[in-house]
Amino acid sequence: MSAKHALTIAAVSKVFPLGRANGQGKTVTALDSTSFKVLDNEFLSIVGPSGCGKSTLLRLMAGLEKPSGGAVNFRDQEVARPSGRIGLVFQDYSLLPWRTLVRNIELGLEFQGLPGRQARDKALEYLELVGLAASKDAYPHELSGGMRQRAAIARALAVEPDVLLMDEPFGALDAHTRLLMQRELLAIWEKRKKTVVFVTHSIDEAVYLSDRIVVMDKDPGRVIEVLDVDLPRPRTRKNPDFGRLTESILEMLKY
Ligand code: ADP
Ligand code: MG
Protein backbone atom coordinates (compact mmCIF):
# COMPACT_ATOMS: atom_id res chain seq x y z
CA MET A 1 0.00 0.00 0.00
CA SER A 2 1.35 3.39 -0.87
CA ALA A 3 -0.46 6.64 -0.22
CA LYS A 4 0.02 8.98 -3.15
CA HIS A 5 2.32 11.84 -2.47
CA ALA A 6 1.94 15.28 -3.90
CA LEU A 7 5.43 16.56 -3.08
CA THR A 8 8.68 14.78 -2.38
CA ILE A 9 11.53 16.62 -0.73
CA ALA A 10 14.59 14.43 -1.19
CA ALA A 11 17.89 15.31 0.53
CA VAL A 12 17.32 18.97 -0.19
CA SER A 13 19.93 21.47 0.89
CA LYS A 14 20.09 25.21 0.36
CA VAL A 15 23.19 27.29 0.91
CA PHE A 16 23.19 31.08 0.63
CA PRO A 17 26.22 33.34 0.33
CA LEU A 18 26.46 35.67 3.33
CA GLY A 19 26.41 39.43 2.88
CA ARG A 20 29.70 41.31 2.60
CA ALA A 21 29.39 42.63 6.16
CA ASN A 22 29.62 39.07 7.46
CA GLY A 23 32.75 38.18 5.56
CA GLN A 24 33.34 37.58 1.88
CA GLY A 25 33.02 34.02 0.65
CA LYS A 26 31.19 32.76 3.73
CA THR A 27 27.89 30.92 3.43
CA VAL A 28 24.85 30.06 5.52
CA THR A 29 23.27 26.62 5.30
CA ALA A 30 19.55 27.45 5.38
CA LEU A 31 18.66 23.79 4.84
CA ASP A 32 20.81 20.74 5.37
CA SER A 33 19.86 17.45 3.69
CA THR A 34 16.13 17.68 4.33
CA SER A 35 13.76 14.88 3.33
CA PHE A 36 10.03 14.25 3.76
CA LYS A 37 6.92 13.68 1.69
CA VAL A 38 3.67 15.57 1.48
CA LEU A 39 0.73 13.21 0.97
CA ASP A 40 -2.23 13.94 -1.30
CA ASN A 41 -4.98 15.88 0.49
CA GLU A 42 -3.20 16.03 3.80
CA PHE A 43 -2.83 19.08 6.00
CA LEU A 44 0.86 19.20 6.82
CA SER A 45 2.40 21.85 9.06
CA ILE A 46 6.03 22.85 9.42
CA VAL A 47 7.11 24.29 12.78
CA GLY A 48 10.45 25.43 14.12
CA PRO A 49 12.27 28.47 15.42
CA SER A 50 12.88 31.59 13.37
CA GLY A 51 15.70 31.02 10.88
CA CYS A 52 15.34 27.21 10.62
CA GLY A 53 14.57 27.42 6.90
CA LYS A 54 10.77 27.18 6.84
CA SER A 55 10.29 29.96 4.29
CA THR A 56 13.22 28.72 2.23
CA LEU A 57 11.62 25.28 2.12
CA LEU A 58 8.29 26.73 0.98
CA ARG A 59 9.98 28.84 -1.71
CA LEU A 60 11.72 25.70 -2.98
CA MET A 61 8.39 23.84 -3.07
CA ALA A 62 6.84 26.76 -4.97
CA GLY A 63 9.64 26.71 -7.55
CA LEU A 64 10.78 30.22 -6.58
CA GLU A 65 14.24 28.93 -5.59
CA LYS A 66 16.41 26.05 -6.75
CA PRO A 67 17.96 23.66 -4.22
CA SER A 68 21.76 23.62 -3.83
CA GLY A 69 21.51 19.83 -3.54
CA GLY A 70 18.80 17.18 -3.72
CA ALA A 71 15.43 17.56 -5.44
CA VAL A 72 11.88 18.78 -4.92
CA ASN A 73 9.35 16.82 -6.97
CA PHE A 74 5.69 17.48 -7.58
CA ARG A 75 4.22 14.06 -8.36
CA ASP A 76 7.00 12.69 -10.54
CA GLN A 77 8.30 15.93 -11.94
CA GLU A 78 10.98 18.21 -10.63
CA VAL A 79 9.65 21.59 -9.49
CA ALA A 80 11.73 23.85 -11.69
CA ARG A 81 9.61 27.01 -11.79
CA PRO A 82 6.38 28.40 -10.31
CA SER A 83 3.17 26.92 -11.74
CA GLY A 84 -0.57 27.16 -11.24
CA ARG A 85 -0.56 23.68 -9.68
CA ILE A 86 1.14 25.01 -6.56
CA GLY A 87 -0.27 28.15 -4.91
CA LEU A 88 1.38 30.30 -2.29
CA VAL A 89 -0.09 32.53 0.45
CA PHE A 90 2.11 34.85 2.50
CA GLN A 91 1.66 36.58 5.84
CA ASP A 92 1.42 40.04 4.29
CA TYR A 93 -1.56 39.26 2.00
CA SER A 94 0.16 40.78 -1.08
CA LEU A 95 -3.10 42.15 -2.46
CA LEU A 96 -2.82 44.99 -4.96
CA PRO A 97 -4.07 48.13 -3.17
CA TRP A 98 -5.46 49.76 -6.31
CA ARG A 99 -7.68 46.82 -7.21
CA THR A 100 -10.98 45.87 -5.59
CA LEU A 101 -11.20 42.40 -4.03
CA VAL A 102 -12.90 40.85 -7.00
CA ARG A 103 -10.34 42.45 -9.34
CA ASN A 104 -7.51 41.14 -7.15
CA ILE A 105 -8.86 37.63 -7.44
CA GLU A 106 -9.44 37.93 -11.18
CA LEU A 107 -5.78 38.76 -11.66
CA GLY A 108 -4.43 35.21 -11.34
CA LEU A 109 -7.24 33.92 -13.52
CA GLU A 110 -6.38 36.45 -16.22
CA PHE A 111 -2.78 35.20 -16.11
CA GLN A 112 -4.17 31.73 -16.73
CA GLY A 113 -5.88 33.08 -19.83
CA LEU A 114 -9.43 32.70 -18.57
CA PRO A 115 -11.88 34.93 -20.51
CA GLY A 116 -13.25 37.94 -18.58
CA ARG A 117 -16.74 36.65 -17.90
CA GLN A 118 -15.49 33.30 -16.58
CA ALA A 119 -12.80 34.99 -14.51
CA ARG A 120 -15.45 37.21 -12.89
CA ASP A 121 -17.72 34.23 -12.10
CA LYS A 122 -14.91 32.22 -10.61
CA ALA A 123 -13.61 35.17 -8.58
CA LEU A 124 -17.09 35.66 -7.13
CA GLU A 125 -17.41 31.94 -6.38
CA TYR A 126 -14.22 31.99 -4.31
CA LEU A 127 -15.10 35.24 -2.54
CA GLU A 128 -18.33 33.52 -1.55
CA LEU A 129 -16.38 30.49 -0.32
CA VAL A 130 -14.33 32.63 2.09
CA GLY A 131 -17.38 34.66 3.16
CA LEU A 132 -16.47 37.89 1.39
CA ALA A 133 -19.13 38.10 -1.33
CA ALA A 134 -20.56 41.29 0.21
CA SER A 135 -17.14 43.00 0.09
CA LYS A 136 -16.32 42.21 -3.52
CA ASP A 137 -16.07 45.87 -4.52
CA ALA A 138 -14.08 46.98 -1.47
CA TYR A 139 -10.41 47.95 -1.68
CA PRO A 140 -7.91 46.11 0.54
CA HIS A 141 -7.37 49.14 2.83
CA GLU A 142 -11.09 49.16 3.65
CA LEU A 143 -10.88 45.68 5.17
CA SER A 144 -9.66 44.20 8.45
CA GLY A 145 -6.54 42.01 8.55
CA GLY A 146 -8.66 38.86 8.77
CA MET A 147 -10.70 39.86 5.72
CA ARG A 148 -7.57 40.66 3.73
CA GLN A 149 -6.10 37.30 4.58
CA ARG A 150 -9.32 35.57 3.54
CA ALA A 151 -9.13 37.45 0.23
CA ALA A 152 -5.52 36.32 -0.24
CA ILE A 153 -6.61 32.72 0.39
CA ALA A 154 -9.49 33.12 -2.10
CA ARG A 155 -7.04 34.44 -4.69
CA ALA A 156 -4.69 31.49 -4.22
CA LEU A 157 -7.57 28.97 -4.31
CA ALA A 158 -9.29 30.50 -7.34
CA VAL A 159 -6.61 29.26 -9.75
CA GLU A 160 -7.41 25.80 -8.35
CA PRO A 161 -3.94 24.62 -7.40
CA ASP A 162 -3.41 21.02 -6.29
CA VAL A 163 -1.22 22.17 -3.42
CA LEU A 164 -1.62 25.28 -1.30
CA LEU A 165 1.54 26.50 0.42
CA MET A 166 0.98 28.95 3.28
CA ASP A 167 3.82 30.85 4.98
CA GLU A 168 2.72 32.02 8.45
CA PRO A 169 -0.54 33.27 6.94
CA PHE A 170 -2.09 34.16 10.29
CA GLY A 171 1.05 35.60 11.90
CA ALA A 172 -0.11 39.21 11.64
CA LEU A 173 -3.64 38.63 12.99
CA ASP A 174 -4.88 39.29 16.51
CA ALA A 175 -5.46 36.19 18.67
CA HIS A 176 -9.23 36.10 18.27
CA THR A 177 -9.23 36.55 14.48
CA ARG A 178 -6.48 33.97 14.25
CA LEU A 179 -8.63 31.31 15.92
CA LEU A 180 -11.55 32.14 13.62
CA MET A 181 -9.30 31.91 10.55
CA GLN A 182 -7.97 28.52 11.67
CA ARG A 183 -11.53 27.20 11.77
CA GLU A 184 -12.39 28.73 8.41
CA LEU A 185 -9.29 27.34 6.76
CA LEU A 186 -10.17 23.84 8.02
CA ALA A 187 -13.71 24.22 6.68
CA ILE A 188 -12.35 25.19 3.25
CA TRP A 189 -9.81 22.37 3.32
CA GLU A 190 -12.53 19.86 4.16
CA LYS A 191 -14.83 21.20 1.45
CA ARG A 192 -12.21 21.38 -1.30
CA LYS A 193 -9.88 18.56 -0.23
CA LYS A 194 -6.64 20.34 -1.04
CA THR A 195 -3.13 19.40 -0.09
CA VAL A 196 -2.01 22.11 2.34
CA VAL A 197 1.53 22.81 3.56
CA PHE A 198 1.26 25.32 6.39
CA VAL A 199 4.24 27.06 7.98
CA THR A 200 3.78 28.46 11.46
CA HIS A 201 5.88 29.10 14.52
CA SER A 202 2.81 28.42 16.68
CA ILE A 203 2.89 24.82 17.85
CA ASP A 204 -0.66 25.19 19.14
CA GLU A 205 -1.80 26.22 15.66
CA ALA A 206 0.01 23.29 14.04
CA VAL A 207 -1.54 20.77 16.45
CA TYR A 208 -5.01 22.26 15.94
CA LEU A 209 -4.82 22.12 12.14
CA SER A 210 -2.62 19.28 10.97
CA ASP A 211 -2.65 15.64 10.02
CA ARG A 212 1.12 15.62 10.39
CA ILE A 213 3.73 18.04 11.69
CA VAL A 214 7.29 18.43 10.45
CA VAL A 215 9.43 19.74 13.33
CA MET A 216 12.57 21.63 12.31
CA ASP A 217 15.55 23.08 14.13
CA LYS A 218 18.18 25.56 13.04
CA ASP A 219 21.95 25.98 12.59
CA PRO A 220 21.76 24.29 10.18
CA GLY A 221 18.08 24.18 9.20
CA ARG A 222 16.92 20.57 9.27
CA VAL A 223 14.04 18.22 10.09
CA ILE A 224 14.27 16.68 13.54
CA GLU A 225 10.95 14.82 13.60
CA VAL A 226 7.82 14.14 11.55
CA LEU A 227 4.79 13.49 13.77
CA ASP A 228 1.31 12.11 13.15
CA VAL A 229 -1.41 14.06 14.91
CA ASP A 230 -3.84 11.36 16.03
CA LEU A 231 -6.49 13.65 17.47
CA PRO A 232 -10.13 13.37 16.35
CA ARG A 233 -11.63 16.23 14.32
CA PRO A 234 -13.19 18.65 15.01
CA ARG A 235 -10.46 19.31 17.55
CA THR A 236 -10.69 20.97 20.90
CA ARG A 237 -7.84 22.38 22.92
CA LYS A 238 -9.58 20.96 26.01
CA ASN A 239 -8.58 17.45 24.96
CA PRO A 240 -5.70 16.47 27.30
CA ASP A 241 -3.94 14.76 24.37
CA PHE A 242 -3.88 18.15 22.62
CA GLY A 243 -1.86 19.62 25.48
CA ARG A 244 0.37 16.57 25.72
CA LEU A 245 1.31 16.69 22.05
CA THR A 246 1.95 20.44 22.22
CA GLU A 247 4.16 19.92 25.26
CA SER A 248 6.16 17.16 23.62
CA ILE A 249 6.91 19.33 20.59
CA LEU A 250 7.97 22.22 22.84
CA GLU A 251 10.25 19.76 24.60
CA MET A 252 11.78 18.69 21.27
CA LEU A 253 12.57 22.29 20.52
CA LYS A 254 13.78 22.97 24.09
CA TYR A 255 11.83 26.22 24.31
P1 ADP B 1 12.43 30.82 8.67
O2 ADP B 1 11.38 31.08 7.64
O3 ADP B 1 12.32 29.47 9.32
O4 ADP B 1 12.50 31.91 9.69
P5 ADP B 1 14.27 31.30 6.46
O6 ADP B 1 14.00 30.23 5.47
O7 ADP B 1 13.70 32.64 6.19
O8 ADP B 1 13.85 30.79 7.92
O9 ADP B 1 15.86 31.47 6.62
C10 ADP B 1 16.73 30.41 6.94
C11 ADP B 1 18.15 30.91 6.97
O12 ADP B 1 18.56 31.25 5.66
C13 ADP B 1 18.35 32.16 7.81
O14 ADP B 1 19.61 32.10 8.42
C15 ADP B 1 18.30 33.27 6.78
O16 ADP B 1 19.02 34.39 7.23
C17 ADP B 1 18.94 32.61 5.57
N18 ADP B 1 18.42 33.14 4.30
C19 ADP B 1 17.15 32.99 3.83
N20 ADP B 1 17.02 33.55 2.61
C21 ADP B 1 18.24 34.08 2.31
C22 ADP B 1 18.78 34.80 1.18
N23 ADP B 1 18.01 35.07 0.11
N24 ADP B 1 20.07 35.18 1.24
C25 ADP B 1 20.84 34.89 2.29
N26 ADP B 1 20.42 34.21 3.39
C27 ADP B 1 19.14 33.81 3.40
MG1 MG C 1 9.87 32.52 7.48
Query: For ligand 2, a single-atom ion, which residues have Cβ within 5 Å?
Result: 54-55
Higher pLDDT, 23 or 100: 100
Label residue 7 left, alpha or beta by phi (over 0 means left) and psi (-120 to 50 means alpha).
beta
The Å distance, Cα 30 to ligand 1 centre, comes to 6
- What are the backbone dihedrals phi and psi of residue 138, each rounded to the nearest 5 degrees, phi first? -80, 155
What mean pLDDT comes out for the span 61-89? 95
- pLDDT band of residue 255 (cuts 50, 70, 90) is low
Q: Beta 43-47 vs 212-217: how paired, if at all?
A: parallel
> 138-172 pLDDT, tens per residue?
999 999 999 999 999 999 999 999 999 999 999 98
Whether the predicted pLDDT of 1 surpasses 50 = no
What mean pLDDT comes out for the span 105-111? 91
Alpha carbon distance 36, 72 (integer Å)? 10
User: What pLDDT is stored for residue 22 in this prediction?
Assistant: 65
The Å distance, Cα 72 to ligand 2 centre, comes to 19
What mean pLDDT comes out for the span 42-52? 97
Q: Does the C-beta of 8 come closer than 6 Å to ligand 1?
A: no
User: What pLDDT is stored for residue 111 in this prediction?
Assistant: 87
The Å distance, Cα 218 to ligand 2 centre, comes to 12
What mean pLDDT comes out for the span 9-22? 88
User: What does the H/E/C string look like for the chain?
Assistant: CCCCEEEEEEEEEEEEECCHHHCCCCEEEEEEEEEEEEECCCEEEEECCCCCCHHHHHHHHCCCCCCCEEEEEECCEECCCCCCCEEEECCCCCCCCCCCHHHHHHHHHHHCCCCHHHHHHHHHHHHHHCCCHHHCCCCHHHCCHHHHHHHHHHHHHHCCCCEEEEECCCCCCCHHHHHHHHHHHHHHHHHHCCEEEEECCCHHHHHHHCCEEEEEECCCCEEEEEEECCCCCCCCCCCHHHHHHHHHHHHHHCC
Q: How many CA atoms lie within 13 A of 137 on its CB side?
A: 0
Instruction: Kindly report the average pLDDT of the chain as a whole number.
Output: 93
- pLDDT band of residue 3 (cuts 50, 70, 90) is low
* Torsion from C-alpha of 137, 139, 145, 150, nearest 10 degrees: 40
The Å distance, Cα 227 to ligand 1 centre, comes to 24
Q: Does the C-beta of 221 come closer than 6 Å to ligand 1?
A: yes
Closest atom, ligand 1, to C-alpha of 54: 3
Closest by CA position to 181, among listed 213, 211, 145, 216: 145
